[in-house]
Structure 1
Amino acid sequence: MKEAKAELQRIIAIPEENFSDYIEQKKSEIVNFHLNNNLFYKELAQTDSFKNWSDLPILNKTNLQKPLAERLSLGYNEKSVYLNKTSGSSGHPFVFAKDKFCHALTWASNIYRFGWYGIDFNSSYQARFYGIPLDFIGNKKERFKDFLTHRFRFSIFNLSDQILEGFLKDFKTKKFDYINGYTSSIVLFAKFLQKKNIVLKEICPTLKVCMVTSEMLFEEDKLLLEKQFGIPIVNEYGASELDLIAFQNTDGQWQVNSETLFVEILDDNNQAVPNGIPGRIVITSLFNKAHPFIRYDLGDIGILDEKSTPKKPILKQLIGRTNDVAILPSGKKSPGLTFYYVTKSIIEDDGNVKEFVIKQTKINQFEVEYVSDSELNEEQIDKINQAVALYLEPNLLFTFNRKTTLERSKRGKLKQFTSFL
């Protein structure tokens, strides 16, 4: 960690005018390393030498669904690297590896960015809204890690009012410094506080900031969190196999990690698009020698801000996942989150609906599953149909199913839109 922190500070100190040279040097180094030391990558690239960046293949999650031993670089084995697995939220889970220096840099990057808000990983006490393994050994292991790292975990698999009441008691009795966890669970807790007319900072005065991750944070939800928590709300975007990709800075910008990653926004022909234009988010890990993540397509769509520079790229918008696109009867393609925006603004007007997800079952049919105090009425459903016709296209059929709870992934994530086409 000492080496990693020193390396990160050295990178941060590079002047803006020299930063492009730094990026080009690191890109060349990591590609040449893997061409010379990683048979998996050499076969994928189908070349012995690196000439043009744009000629390098795009690596996707399907490429990585083979035994890890076949993907590791020479000199590395499963005992000498950091191992983990992706959540599978994209539908393509896989095991990945980082060499230990790369993993230490990931933590140095986290420590640096959280430090913008006065959070010290060695001493600050975290209220953690995450899933947890339910098997005995996995559960105890995770709880022990939480103890060592100053975290108190709120399990998010059951978020009934009775359980949330228990969360509230913990905030009254524990001196938390910050909240970190999945967006949907934290928003649900904020709605519970809203119903009880409670501002969290007033009952837990030590709270400084809340960082949400892993799921989309909508502007209305951010405003709700700010109001009910009484603290700044920080949006982060990351991938466990890479690093923190973007983290909201103190000016409210989603600042992209340019120290350890190279982020590209590409069109369908794998060509870079101008800043301000949406495209596929493709990322290169500049330091991972154990496993290649070179021009790695995350499966997300985003836009870089026109004001971006090589040293300080700004993520203007994260639109959603490429596999979360609805294909409509007219042939139009719409990001699944469009439906979410349209319905969200209407069915949450009175605070009745707690959570909902949308599923496309046929080209013109969608199911909305929702958790609420009472059923949606005809007037609300009619408003949704009108909004869908206006923003998307007419004659789409929606059915509404009220549920007591919504299905989450094994890690507790909530998938907001799914197409079954």
Structure 2
Amino acid sequence: MNWFKISLQLNKFPINRAQNMLRKIQDIPEEKYEEYLVQKREAIVQYHLEHTNFYKSFFKNKEYSEWKDVPVMNKADLQRPLEDRLSNEFSKKNIYLGKTSGSSGHPFIFAKDRLCHAITWAEFIDRYKWIGINLNKSLQARFYGIPLDFYGNITERFKDRMSLRRRFNIFDLSDSKMQTFLERFKNSNFDYINGYTSAILLFAKYLNKQQLILADICPKLKVCIVTSEKLFEDDKTLIEAAFGVPVINEYGASEVGLIAFEDTSKEWVINSESLFIEILDDQNNILPYGEEGRIVITSLYNKAHPMIRYDIGDTGKLASNSSFKRPILEKLTGRTNDIAKLADGKVVPGLTFYYVTKSIIEDAGSIKEFLVIQTALNRFKIEYVSEQEFTGVQIEKILTAIETFIGKNLKVDFERKQILKRNKSGKLKQFTSMI
């Protein structure tokens, strides 16, 4: 029985209609695809100018003329009561209501109309078929957080049951909990793993330590899908070796849905069916393929709430061989607000610290995970979970690397912890600036 589709239909999400629409969009030939995107993006702007007072005000009460003049919105612009942002044709009774995780520092409640939300799920169903996963039949091992309040917890577990998902609570990632995870894989026929990169990586390291390969324990396992947190190439290699299955990169955001999905040829294919993706510079100029900038997204079908030229807070670039129908995400650098500002005026992407220290720290083999926090213009703290304290030699190597690649006269504090703090959704933010 198609439990997943049934659960969507019970919640009044028209999944059959959405799948039919998706097939028709995918049948549009390449030479007519730019015309499709132009028509849909202009239509959604005109719709919200006519039906959404918030967007009309955000547009400065001007009429639409050219796409390049459509204002760019960010998360801070949406931090106001949802009722003030909804289209006048929708209310909380006929929408999908969601909330962003707040990992960017700007959490907000958002809305999608039911057809828009169904199209998102139609796209997930379609992409998962690329890697041999059927959302109506395949059993998922889900490495995510879960609401801790009674109602939220019960609701999420019911949704998991209907969607063939079995949740692995990542708020406790101790060795004893990892052993519990392992036992579940021994006793269940999981088809795939889906979840946050950091938690999945930690489980892979545990398996490595035990000299085990997960596919030997759970033979039905086909693939692992990582999402929401950056996946480094060497971590991908480690996970694939420990699990014995391929690792697929998924890039999405709750407020807009599926953004990109890695295909079997290892290309990150952008969702061009229901989203329009642009790369902009700091002055909101549209950058050509191959140039890096801010990722800005337009949801072409969300009539409940405007998500038009929405700066999601990430930076990246599209490959030079991209097309309107098949744009390829060549690089996803990280969050635009995750930057370190130094006393000499230098600005460094926060993940630079993570790149620099990562290979050095993991040489020891006993480091489970770590993160970097900027506490002052010239001071940083590295929190880490490890079997032993860092040695003087390890610390000296890290300091030398930071001086070489980041800057001189920087102070670095090291703190070994039993567990690293995750946000409410369970994500681990690898770099945080406190200034």
TM-score normalized with structure 1 length: 0.99
The equivalent residue for 1:66 is 80
1:318 match: secondary structure:
strand
Letter in 2 for 1:380: Q
1:418 match: secondary structure:
strand
Offset at residue 329 of structure 1 (A): 2.6
Offset at residue 349 of structure 1 (A): 1.2
Within 2, Cα distance between the matches of 1:315 and 1:346?
A: 29
Among the aligned pairs, what percent are the same residue?
A: 57
The equivalent residue for 1:111 is 125
Within 2, Cα distance between the matches of 1:67 and 1:207?
A: 43
1:381 and 2:392 aligned: no
- Per-residue CA deviation, residues 59-104 of structure 1 (Å, 9 max, x unaligned), is 1111111111111112100111000110011111111000000000
Letter in 2 for 1:31: V
- Per-residue CA deviation, residues 301-340 of structure 1 (Å, 9 max, x unaligned), is 1111111111111111111111100112332211100100
Q: Pick which of 392-401 and 368-377 moved more.
A: 392-401
Offset at residue 390 of structure 1 (A): 1.6
Within 2, Cα distance between the matches of 1:99 and 1:143?
A: 24
The equivalent residue for 1:290 is 304
The equivalent residue for 2:162 is 148
Q: Pick which of 263-272 and 329-338 moved more.
A: 329-338
- Per-residue CA deviation, residues 327-364 of structure 1 (Å, 9 max, x unaligned), is 12332211100100111010011321101010001111
The equivalent residue for 2:257 is 243
**Equivalent of 1:308 in 313, 318, 322:** 322
Within 2, Cα distance between the matches of 1:250 and 1:45?
A: 41
Structural mapping, 1:95-244, within 5 Å? 95-244=109-258
Within 2, Cα distance between the matches of 1:23 and 1:335?
A: 33
The equivalent residue for 1:397 is 411
1:36 and 2:64 aligned: no
Structural mapping, 1:255-274, within 5 Å? 255-274=269-288
Within 1, Cα distance between the matches of 2:80 and 2:386?
A: 42
Give the length in aligned residue pairs: 421
Within 2, Cα distance between the matches of 1:348 and 1:275?
A: 35
Within 1, Cα distance between the matches of 2:209 and 2:122?
A: 39
Offset at residue 49 of structure 1 (A): 2.4
Within 1, Cα distance between the matches of 2:115 and 2:161?
A: 24
Within 2, Cα distance between the matches of 1:129 and 1:268?
A: 35
Offset at residue 173 of structure 1 (A): 0.8
Within 2, Cα distance between the matches of 1:216 and 1:353?
A: 18
1:58 match: secondary structure:
coil
TM-score normalized with structure 2 length: 0.96
1:51 and 2:65 aligned: yes
The equivalent residue for 2:422 is 408
Within 2, Cα distance between the matches of 1:300 and 1:92?
A: 13
- Per-residue CA deviation, residues 395-421 of structure 1 (Å, 9 max, x unaligned), is 221111000000001111101100111
Distance 1:340 1:313, change over 3 A: same
1:63 match: secondary structure:
helix
Consecutive aligned runs of 4 or more in structure 1 exceeding 2 Å deviation:
none
Within 1, Cα distance between the matches of 2:417 and 2:276?
A: 42
The equivalent residue for 1:327 is 341
Within 2, Cα distance between the matches of 1:342 and 1:274?
A: 30
Unpaired runs of at least 5, structure 2 = 1-14
Within 2, Cα distance between the matches of 1:85 and 1:138?
A: 13
1:354 and 2:368 aligned: yes
- Per-residue CA deviation, residues 20-70 of structure 1 (Å, 9 max, x unaligned), is 011001011101101111110011012342111111111111111111111
**Equivalent of 2:350 in 304, 321, 336:** 336
1:83 and 2:63 aligned: no
Letter in 1 for 2:384: Y
Within 1, Cα distance between the matches of 2:409 and 2:291?
A: 30
Offset at residue 255 of structure 1 (A): 0.8
Within 2, Cα distance between the matches of 1:143 and 1:274?
A: 44
Within 2, Cα distance between the matches of 1:311 and 1:392?
A: 39
1:163 match: secondary structure:
helix
